[in-house]
Structure 1
């Protein structure tokens, strides 16, 4: 008669053998990655790989140096010696961005981390759900809607101008203004009104509870070592570890107020459009689009998916101000053009009709892309074509790369925007005059806007790029007409924050608070 052990022992052996095979395959892939033949920098840290070098680089230029040495596709070492393909090849980028729904997706670890902060919205979803969300959202981000929001951009820019005037009038004329703080408040106010018809009151007061909740989520580095481990290892996320109480409380506030905003927007969306004369915000337009009866019920977004998210316009404008302090001739030329406009309240068409402002914004977003890189992971095997052949460590030339499922890929946005093979030998120089006569090679860059990778491209391109560009133009129009900008510390004291890249003074610079951009503002005389 068969005993229990006669059944359990074979099952145990098969289970252990299967687990051992999976472990062996993973160890093999870790030790012998498929793209190990590619050239690239040596591993500089057993735990963090080359990411430690990148984090310690004050100039944010390592990817440019590596591409110049190893080519437009090279290998670097990631966390725990994982293999990362760094891509700066126009054809390869176009292939990847064209297949971000079916082959190359945002890494699961990044999606988990974003969902922890923002919920399961359009930044996190993949596949058919993401395509459905984009179809519903697209009408709310078109040029007609952005034109209707331009008054909000301009009004809030004027509020920031007056906020800074008041600040410098109440202090010594040479006392620096921390421009990032004011820009962050202003763009938060814009997101409140333009995004979902909500008054954050960030500029006019200390802000309400939702403003403070946003600051808790976005106002600093909330990660600790345990968070980093949970991002990398999915099994740790299943442990009963309480969430960061500050983030949990902020999310509760955002969810509570967000649901009420969606409810209010639904009431406005139910009105005939000719009777709804007040709502210009994206949320109401988005809800109205989502309620369209031509959209099948199963393709509509959930209420929590339609809430607006924070933008990076304040960071881009911080970069613009930094550039103006370093190029006084550009500052003077830009101000001269802006002062030819007779009104303080320009329309979107008037802003877009200013050629030097347009060229200046394009050059800032080329040289100073706030997002330096993005990651993707291959969810199936693929063959990636290359525009520029690369030579591997064995001297063999490759015109395509065989990508294995699970391969991590890093798109180097900033380095691509400054590639000398694309933009010429003066690619590292700030020259607004280059626009209108861009080199032919730039036309191959698969970006959604202006031959740049700043807003990415393909199905996952930044949906709010029009919003961001026009808001930035409105800010610069108002501020450059009102102030002359001078850096309050020596140029050598400025370092570059990674992630959402921004120019920042070292903490010890002139005893100023660290991680800020201090600028001396001088009001422009009316007779100038």
Structure 2
């Protein structure tokens, strides 16, 4: 090395060493600050806590100084640890998040109604790191944004999800449900043919893994293990593509070959695969000076960015075409009384172009494109997941499954007896749907309600207080020290509040001693405690409440009813003997098979097609 090069090399090393030293010093200072804060909260902070009268979880984690009770929560199945603590401490208790930050859990209906009410909902937004995480994946859609922007968007979007509108989508959902059952019949048929030697024994079909193929079935000539989540996810993606913005993904037929469907699959994976390490990074990124953690050039962030570009390009084309079609409907420009649009997004675009809407009230192109992503993910994966849990509950409760099938079969026979009195147009619907009137099936309605109550696809959410507030409770609770009671809770500005959707729906105080058991018949005679709780319509918080409630609730329920009706009429569902499901909350409640984690999230069940005579 020359003297001149050496003279530059040595100072450069010194500068690099200095930068590394400063970085390490900052990391040490940050950790020291957090540790000292945690120690303070465990000791002196406990004396001055406004929540010291609330029963507290006793941590058993040796690393609780750093993680609080967070690791125990993540290690358990969704809501399981919270329910266990609720059974021990009652509906109102507190636990510790990372670095001993306190959180209060409120399984009290009056408290949740207060927090989610129109008067308070925007004072309790999602934490900033959660909104940033969702915006990075979804764009500026209804799920990710907060405050006045959310209020403005929801006002424009709400008419697209009105009950009268969602009913128009019945034929679309029935058609895709029939395509699903046809596909599943073919899959089972191929598996049976493989067993009979018509395919090589080591053949793997789409959506199948070797564990499914190698199960020793009691009836291999008429049954197969099928990953219901794999095929329901593709079906609901096709449904939301068509009713959302008139797109044909053909995911049931072609998997992820469609470029937009492939990009959406990547986005869904990035959003839902929220493991402990990722969650810790997100939580740390809210700390002062650590927001840069969100933008590390890792594989996950790179895939998010690339997929977002694909989605945005497609969304821009979709929205531009819809605008042109709407303007072309009238030579004089837009008119609110022209023919009805065909999709949810087209309705949004039409509403956004209304003449009586002020420029300041309109959604921008970026916001409209954000709705495309949001509609797909919020209306696709959650519905598919909810359906698989409903099938699992029916598979583990064969008596209820048999009763539901009998109800469906009776309705099919009843309508068949009246078919001669129908018009040709009315008869035509039976080409795609087995039952004309799902409202005539009370047990189907109860099964859907009970599956949503017990295993909601989104088990919980978190809110942060923008202002000091006093949250009322539905009753007086005993103080932790046993000296009196309390009937309200002070929530200081900046504190996070855990919204336990699953926990409150499994509360024995509200639902009775069998609250944690699957019992659809409870909906025939709900306990007075449920009625008195004055919960949202449907008597659950699964879809939240108030202005931040799920705008597509009616569509999701209708889709679940239709898919279950088709599936239960066509197949008998059983669990795979010896296979235990491990639930994990990755934004939505998903499942892994114990010992098969490397195969990812799945819901394998044994499907046995029913003979035409039985149906």
Q: TM-score, normalised by structure 2?
A: 0.77
Q: Deviations over 1:415-439 (max 9, x none)?
A: 1112111111221221211213212
- Which residue does the alignment assign to 2:519? 431
From 374, 383, 390, the equivalent of 2:477 is 390
Alpha-carbon shift at residue 448 of structure 1 (Å) = 3.7
CA RMSD, Structure 1 to Structure 2 (Å): 2.6
- Runs of 4+ in structure 1 deviating by more than 6 angstroms, as ranges, are 22-30
| Residues 1:331 and 2:401 are matched in the alignment | yes
Q: Please identify the structure whose Cα radius of gyration is greater.
A: 2
**In 1: Cα distance, 2:80 partner to 2:281 partner:** 27
In the TM superposition, 1:88-487 aligns within 5 A as: 88-98=107-117, 99-172=119-192, 173-207=222-256, 208-219=258-269, 221=273, 225=277, 228-234=280-286, 235-238=289-292, 241-242=296-297, 244-270=301-327, 271=329, 276=339, 279-305=341-367, 306-307=371-372, 308-310=375-377, 311=379, 312-339=382-409, 340-341=411-412, 342=415, 343=430, 345-346=432-433, 350-396=437-483, 397-445=485-533, 447-487=535-575
Deviation readout 1:127-180 (Å, 9 max, x if unpaired): 221111111111000111101111111111111111111111111344310110
Q: 1: distance between equivalents of 2:175 and 2:97?
A: 45
CA distance in 2, matches of 1:495, 1:223: 14
Shift, 1:507, TM fit: 3.0
Change over 3 Å in CA distance of 1:289–1:447 after alignment to 2: farther
Kept after mapping to 1: 8 A contact 2:511/2:530: yes
- Partner secondary structure for residue 451 of structure 2: helix
Q: Deviations over 1:243-300 (max 9, x none)?
A: 62111111110111011111122223332677646x4210001111111122211011
Instruction: Compare 213-222 and 407-416 and name the one that shifted more.
Output: 213-222
How many residues matched? 503
Structure 2 gap ranges (5+): 1-32, 193-221, 331-335, 416-429
Quote the offset at 1:413 in angstroms: 0.9
Question: Is this contact kept in 2: 1:187–1:314, CA < 8 A?
Answer: yes
Q: CA deviation at 1:329?
A: 1.3
Contact kept, 8 Å, 1:485 with 1:520, in 2: the verdict is yes
Alignment match, 1:4: none
- Does structure 1 residue 74 correspond to structure 2 residue 93? yes
Q: CA deviation at 1:241?
A: 3.2
CA contact (8 A) 1:94 1:445 kept: no
| Structure 1: gaps (5+ residues) | 1-21
Structure 2 distance, partners of 1:225, 1:432, is: 38
- Compute the TM-score of the two structures, normalised by the length of structure 1: 0.89
